[in-house]
């Protein structure tokens, strides 16, 4: 996944342009579930940078991010044998801006609450598109893309 965004055609009452990582070569055949639309870009004739100032995240996509973190990302952390102490948090920072401490760049946190229970807690302030670009899981980008493609084929 090269973090390339595509403008998707969406049937419905949405006036903005739907943005997705899924290319038309796939969506033209399989369609595009709402859960894979990152958000909507709205025109703003008074602002030349409307993509960033007039972007509205899609709640269903935010849930897709949470599903990925709860399943694939936690499994990857366990496989890498990352030791977490009870009640310790491991923050998931969007790799598009790795040195950021802004709330909108923190995807969420993984917390170990007891010996075997590890949970993901989403950050309600996280924004999947910023001036630095779209969401990036860094080395896990390909796994995230595969996760999204699997949602189409299932």
Q: Which pLDDT score, from 0 to 100, does residue 138 have?
A: 92
Beta partners for 91? 109
Convert the pLDDT of each residue in 87-116 to its tens digit. 788 889 999 988 888 888 999 998 877 666
Walk across the sheet containing 55-57 and list its strands.
Answer: 6-8, 17-20, 39-41, 55-57
Is residue 75 domain-resident? yes
Domain assignment present for 128: yes
For residue 11, is it within any domain?
Answer: yes
Confirm whether 20 is domain-assigned: yes
Structure-token pair, residue 17: 């342009």
Q: What is the pLDDT of residue 78?
A: 74
Instruction: Name the nearest CA neighbour of 39 among 70, 62, 23, 22.
Output: 62
Q: Has residue 1 been placed in a domain?
A: no
The answer to whether the beta carbons of residues 109 and 123 sit under 8 Å apart is yes
Residues 84, 90 contacting (CB under 8 angstroms): yes
Q: For residue 57, give both structure tokens.
A: 């995240």
Decide: helix, strand or coil at residue 88: coil
Looking at the structure of the chain, the number of domains it has is 1
**Residue 74 located in a structural domain:** yes
Burial class (CB in 10 A: 0-12, 13-18, 19+), 45: exposed
Asked if the structure places residue 146 within a domain, the reply is: yes
Cα separation, 23 vs 124, whole angstroms: 28
Whether 18 is in a domain gets the answer yes
Residue 108 tokens read as: 């969420």
pTM: 0.84
Q: Which residue segment(s) compose the domain that 119 sits in?
A: 6-153
**For 39-64, how does the pLDDT look when each residue is reduced to its tens digit (9 = 90+)?**
988 766 565 554 445 788 999 999 99
Mean pLDDT, rounded, for 9-38: 81
């Amino acid at each position: 996944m090269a973090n390339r965004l595509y403008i998707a055609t969406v049937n419905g009452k949405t006036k903005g342009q739907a943005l997705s990582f899924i290319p038309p070569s796939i969506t033209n055949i399989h369609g595009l579930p709402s859960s894979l639309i990152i958000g909507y870009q709205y025109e703003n004739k008074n602002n030349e940078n409307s993509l960033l100032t007039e972007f509205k995240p899609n709640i269903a996509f935010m849930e897709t991010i949470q599903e990925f973190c709860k399943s694939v990302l936690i499994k990857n952390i366990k496989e890498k044998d990352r030791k977490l102490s009870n009640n310790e948090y491991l923050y998931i920072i969007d790799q598009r801006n790795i040195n950021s401490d802004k709330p909108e760049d923190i995807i969420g946190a993984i917390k170990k609450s007891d010996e075997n229970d590890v949970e993901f807690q989403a950050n309600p302030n996280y924004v999947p598109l910023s001036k630095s670009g779209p969401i990036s899981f860094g080395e896990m980008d390909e796994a995230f893309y595969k996760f999204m493609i699997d949602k189409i084929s299932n």
